[in-house]
Amino acid sequence: MADIIVIDDDPALRGTIRKILERGGHAVREAEDGVAGLQLVGDDPPDLVITDLLMPEKEGIETIMELQDQFPSVRIIAISGAGSGSDGGPLTDAELLGASATLPKPFSVQKLLDTVDRVLQ
């Protein structure tokens, strides 16, 4: 299937997403923040990056901006518990900066898989 990098500072959530995606047939690599994630992308660009937006070191918005600049063919799904809405917010910002899709936390297994499938098509 696809090569996916998951960037999130929560190791439990990262591991859960990894297991879900691996059961779906994807190869998954993990990074704990945007700095480590960008290093993984630079070493071997994936098909898709799933990144949290609120992290230490390098936040997801900055990570998305750098991915769009350096690796424009890599698709991005932004995830965040901060939400979005008509007044904006981190997920809206991520979409404006080029994220292919966004997922507000918490999300269901099916919603994650459906979003990944849609973005990879």
Q: Tell me which H or E stretch contains 80.
A: strand 75-80
Q: What is the number of other CB atoms lying within 10 angstroms of the CB of residue 19?
A: 12
- Whole domain around residue 82: which residue ranges? 3-120
The domain tally of the chain equals: 1
DSSP label at 53? S
The Cα 52–Cα 54 span in angstroms is 6
**CATH code of the domain containing 38:** 3.40.50.2300
pTM, to two decimals: 0.94
Of 58, 103, 96, the closest CA to residue 77 belongs to 103
**pLDDT tens, residue by residue, 46-82:** 999 999 999 988 889 999 999 999 999 999 999 998 7
- Residues of the chain with pLDDT > 70, as a percent, come to 95
